[in-house]
Amino acid sequence: MEKLNWLTANQAAQGIREGLFSSEDLVQSCIDQIRAREPDVLAWAFFDAEHALTQARRADEWRAAGNPLGLLHGVPVGIKDIIDTGDMPTEDGTPLHSGRNPWHDAKVVDLLRTAGAVIMGKTVTTELAALAPGKTRNPHNPEHTPGGSSSGSAAAVAAGMVPLALGTQTNGSLIRPAAYCGVFGFKPSRGLISRQGILRQSDRLDQPGGFARCIGDLALLGEVLSAYDPDEPGMSPRSNVPMLRVCNEESPMPPKLALIKTPWWPQLEADTQEGFGELVEHLSKHVGEFVLPDSAAAVLDWHKIVMEADMAANYQTEFERGADKLSNSLREQIERGRNVKAVDYLQALARIPVVTEALDEIFDRYDAILTPAVAGAAPHGLESTGNPMFCTLWTFCGMPTLSLPLLQAGTGLPVGVQLVGRVGDDARLLRTARWLVDVIK
């Protein structure tokens, strides 16, 4: 009972359904872990133990009454503090939004509650989900960054505080912290999950996702969150994808992976290059190398133009009313965005379908792309959240990506490996990832 906090979400949900333990038991175990690790990790922006226990007791009463149970009944989940919660503050990592209490849950939070989840609290984000770090530290070594902007969510899962947590990505904000903290991170296809009630940084680039300690939990989370939302303009009507079932199926044939080093390969740290080489050698029967043209490097510029122009528009109120309360890095991003020419912005947007279509041809021959998630282990120091360059291309195209904790740096810190799928083929990507993890083990 003392180690319930280390159960996977699937194990926890099953244990509660079968009466092996209660949601209150599970939540109390997570609370104990938070109290033990939070002074060092600092993963939470808002946490109320009694409120979490109240939710858990209600979940237990619901089960005891013989009511039907959702997929996450009684399972605690952390929520990045840019995602609205009607019963908790959402302050977006900035003093400008201090004391902000939304009237309603974001759509993803509503879906979690409908599935029976316990909303454990709000996890730390960087300032307005941008570059300036929050207070969170890496659970493996508090002198190193946990990454950003979904820093608190990744750290909370890695530290055993919750089995699941939500994050978002506009550049590398899910994959990078997952890679640095040694957990599984999932950025679904653009349009798979509703963004209603989530801080808007860039309408064309923002993508919600989550963290877990195994692939199956990411499939479970994705299945719960991917319900169609008619109020989300980025979504199309469709039925829910049975991600967990597909993820657990055996592939008709062993998957084939396209190794793409990307133009930024020379910037990988030496031990990461070595580890990646050993991984590819181990998978040699299943891997073929695909070389991107040098022109792919221009994606960094296109992404920057779109992201910063959108930030200037979406954060106009914060900039005009409280620029002195913003970090230097965020002010600079907004100022650059305000100077973007309309023609440059539209031309950059026009590159998204062109690049995505070009990359789509890879999946006629391969099941997924294998590529670095980060340049190396989490950098020392807390002044930066690391470089997202290895995530930018895939985020720009809205492709589903996963970070898998398969490598380790010479310092002992974890290093994630990135797996990328075809847009809309998230369930197949999760199945390929499960196969890959099983092969490596």
Q: Catalytic residue numbers?
A: 80, 149, 173
Specify the DSSP class assigned to residue 369.
Answer: E
Q: What is the secondary structure of 183-224 as a DSSP string?
A: SEEEE--TTSS--TTB--S-TTT-EEEEEESSHHHHHHHHHH
- Pair of tokens at residue 78: 């952390």
E strands, 217-311, in order = 257-259, 287-289
Residue given tokens 């002074």 in the structure block = 39
Tell me the residue ranges of DSSP E strands in 135-266.
Answer: 164-169, 184-187, 207-212, 257-259
Of 72, 118, 128, 81, the residue nearest 102 (C-alpha): 81
- How crowded is the C-beta side of 272, counted as CA atoms within 13 Å? 24
Pair 198, 303: CB distance under 8 Å: no
| Cα distance between residue 54 and residue 43, in whole Å | 21
Structure tokens at 304: 């920057």
Beta carbons within 8 Å of 355's beta carbon, 6+ residues apart? 296, 299, 393, 396, 397
DSSP bridge pairs for 224: none
- Residue 272's closest CA among 420, 413, 94? 413
Contact (CB, 8 A) for 8 and 29 = no
Instruction: Tell me the one-letter amino acid at 221.
Output: L
Interatomic CA distance for residues 121 and 77, integer angstroms: 8
Q: Which residue type occupies 50?
A: E
φ and ψ at residue 299, rounded to 5 degrees: -60, -35
Residue the block writes with tokens 């005009």: 320
- Round to whole Å and give the CA distance between 94 and 82: 10
Note whether 431 and 247 are within 8 A (CB): yes
Please return the burial class of 250, using the count of CB atoms within 10 Å of its CB with bins 0-12, 13-18 and 19+. Answer: exposed
Backbone φ, ψ for residue 77 (5° rounding): -135, 135
